[in-house]
C-alpha cells in the first residue's frame, strides 16, 4: 500500500509536465489543426527563462572590502549582486532565492510573445499545407531554437535551484498514519503538481467560463460557422496559440529545479508528449491531461524494482508499449473526438 502511494506520488511530477505540454499541443491542434513539433522547444525555452532569471538576479558588481583581507594583506574583492544593493541584503537574497517562482511572471509575456510570433510569422502559412509539411517545418524550427539555446547557454545542464523553503523532502507517510521514513517526498515536486493543477484548471476555466473561451470552443467545433457569424476566429486562435505556448513555458519554468535544463530537454519531452496526446485522443483536452498523468504514474510504477525483476527493461518502454496497445485497440485514443485526424 505504501509502495503504491509512493509510486503514485513519484509519477505525479512527470505526469504534470506531460499533461501541461500535451494540453498545449492539443489546444494548438484542436484550434488551428496544426501538428506542432516545436512544442518541446517551447517547454525548453520556459526552463531557460528560469535560468536567465536566476542569472539576471545574480549579476553583481565588485567592491573592495577594506575590513576583509586575503592572505597577502590586500583588501578582498567582494561581489554584491545589484538586487542586494538595491533592496537591501535580506530582501535581495530572498529575491535571488525565489528567482524560479519569480521567473513565472517574467516568462508569461515572453512565452505569449514567442507563441504569437511563431504563429503569425510561420505557422499561419501552413494551415492549408499537409500535416507532413507542418511536422517538418516545426521540426526545423525546433532544431533552430535548440541550437540557439545551445549557442548561448552551452551544451551542459545548468543546475537551477528551488527556493530554500522548498528544498529537502518531507515525510508524507506519517501524515497518513504510515511508519516514518517510508514515503518521503520532495517539497518542490508537490509544488510542481499543485502548480500544474492550477495552470490546467485555469486553462479549462478560461475556456469554460469566459466569452472568449466560449467562442474558441465554438470555433473548435465548427470554425466555418463561427466565421460566418462575423467573429474573427483567426485572431482568437492566434491568442490561443500564445496561451498554449505559455502553458508549455510555465511547465518548463517550474521544471527547472527538478531536472537541470539542457538544450535537448524539449525534444526528450516532445516525443513523450506526442505519445501522450495520441493516447489521450487527438483534439481532446481532458484526454490529454488524463493520459499525461496516467502515463507519468505508469512509468513510475514500472520502475519499481520487483516489477523490473519480472519484466526487465519495462520501465524504459512502458509508455510506448501502452501507446501502441491503445492505438491498436482504440484508434481514437482514450477520449478522442469523432472525425478528428481520421483521414
Partner 1 sequence: MLGLDKKDMKFLLIVIFLTLATPILLQPFPEGSGMAQFNAGYPDLMQRFAIFGIFAIGFNILFGLTGYLSFGHAAFLGVGSYSAVWMFKLLSMNVLPGLILAVIMSGLFALVIGYVSLRRSGIYFSILTLAFAQMSYNLAYSVLTPITNGETGLQVTLSDPRILGQQVSESGNVPGTHFFGIEMGAAQKIAVGSWEFTFSAGYYFCAIIAIFAFYLSLRIFRSPFGLMLRAIKSNQQRLNYTGLNARPYTLAAFVISGMYAGLAGGLLASMDPLAGAERMQWTASGEVVLMTILGGVGTMMGPVLGAGVIKYMENIFSKINEQVLHQWFGWLPDGLESIVIWAAEHFVGSGWHMTSGVLFMIVVIFLPGGLVEGGQRIKGFIKNRRGGDSDDPEHHPKQAPHVAE
Residues that bind partner 1 (CB under 8 A): 35, 122, 125, 129, 131-133, 135-137, 139-141, 143-144, 146-148, 150-151, 155, 267, 271, 274-275, 278, 282, 312-313, 316-317, 320-321, 323-324, 327-328, 331, 341, 343
Cβ of residue 41: shortest distance to partner 1, in angstroms? Answer: 11
The smaller minimum CB distance to partner 1, of residues 26 and 107, is found at: 26
The smaller minimum CB distance to partner 1, of residues 92 and 287, is found at: 287
Cβ of residue 126: shortest distance to partner 1, in angstroms? Answer: 8
Cβ of residue 278: shortest distance to partner 1, in angstroms? Answer: 5
Cβ of residue 28: shortest distance to partner 1, in angstroms? Answer: 13
Asked whether the beta carbons of 20 and 250 are under 8 A apart, the reply is: yes
The smaller minimum CB distance to partner 1, of residues 140 and 159, is found at: 140
Task: Please list, in sequence order, all residues whose beta carbon lies within 8 angstroms of the beta carbon of residue 234, skipping any fewer than 6 positions away.
Answer: none
The smaller minimum CB distance to partner 1, of residues 144 and 198, is found at: 144
Cα angle value 109/91/159 (rounded, 5°): 60
Cβ of residue 251: shortest distance to partner 1, in angstroms? Answer: 21
Cβ of residue 310: shortest distance to partner 1, in angstroms? Answer: 12
The smaller minimum CB distance to partner 1, of residues 184 and 341, is found at: 341
The smaller minimum CB distance to partner 1, of residues 72 and 328, is found at: 328
Cβ of residue 156: shortest distance to partner 1, in angstroms? Answer: 13
The smaller minimum CB distance to partner 1, of residues 122 and 334, is found at: 122
Amino acid at each position: 500500500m505504501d509502495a503504491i502511494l509512493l509510486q503514485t506520488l513519484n509519477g505525479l511530477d512527470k505526469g504534470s509536465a506531460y499533461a501541461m505540454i500535451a494540453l498545449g499541443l492539443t489546444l494548438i491542434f484542436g484550434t488551428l489543426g496544426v501538428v506542432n513539433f516545436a512544442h518541446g522547444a517551447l517547454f525548453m525555452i520556459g526552463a531557460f527563462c528560469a535560468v536567465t532569471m536566476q542569472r539576471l538576479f545574480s549579476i553583481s558588481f565588485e567592491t573592495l572590502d577594506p575590513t576583509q583581507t586575503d592572505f597577502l594583506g590586500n583588501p578582498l574583492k567582494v561581489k554584491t549582486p545589484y538586487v542586494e544593493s538595491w533592496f537591501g541584503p535580506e530582501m535581495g537574497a530572498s529575491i535571488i532565492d525565489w528567482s524560479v517562482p519569480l521567473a513565472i511572471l517574467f516568462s508569461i509575456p515572453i512565452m505569449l510573445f514567442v507563441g504569437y510570433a511563431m504563429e503569425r510569422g510561420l505557422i499561419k502559412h501552413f494551415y492549408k499545407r499537409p500535416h507532413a509539411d507542418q511536422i517538418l517545418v516545426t521540426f526545423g524550427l525546433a532544431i533552430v531554437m535548440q541550437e540557439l539555446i545551445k549557442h548561448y547557454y552551452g551544451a551542459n545542464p545548468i543546475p537551477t535551484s528551488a527556493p530554500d523553503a522548498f528544498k529537502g523532502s518531507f515525510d508524507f507517510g506519517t501524515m497518513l498514519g504510515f511508519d516514518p521514513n517510508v514515503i518521503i517526498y520532495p517539497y518542490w515536486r508537490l509544488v510542481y503538481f499543485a502548480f500544474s493543477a492550477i495552470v490546467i484548471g485555469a486553462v479549462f476555466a478560461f475556456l469554460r467560463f469566459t466569452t472568449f473561451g466560449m467562442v474558441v470552443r465554438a470555433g473548435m467545433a465548427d470554425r466555418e460557422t463561427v466565421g460566418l457569424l462575423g467573429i474573427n476566429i483567426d485572431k482568437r486562435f492566434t491568442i490561443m496559440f500564445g496561451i498554449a505556448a505559455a502553458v508549455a513555458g510555465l511547465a518548463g519554468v517550474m521544471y527547472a529545479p527538478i531536472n537541470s535544463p539542457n538544450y535537448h530537454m524539449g525534444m526528450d519531452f516532445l516525443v513523450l508528449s506526442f505519445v501522450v496526446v495520441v493516447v489521450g485522443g487527438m483534439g481532446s483536452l481532458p484526454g490529454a491531461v488524463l493520459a499525461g498523468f496516467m502515463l507519468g504514474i505508469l512509468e513510475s510504477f514500472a520502475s519499481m524494482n520487483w516489477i523490473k525483476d519480472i519484466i526487465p527493461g519495462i520501465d524504459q518502454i512502458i509508455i510506448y508499449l501502452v501507446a501502441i496497445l491503445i492505438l491498436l485497440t482504440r484508434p481514437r485514443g482514450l477520449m478522442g473526438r469523432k472525425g478528428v485526424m481520421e483521414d
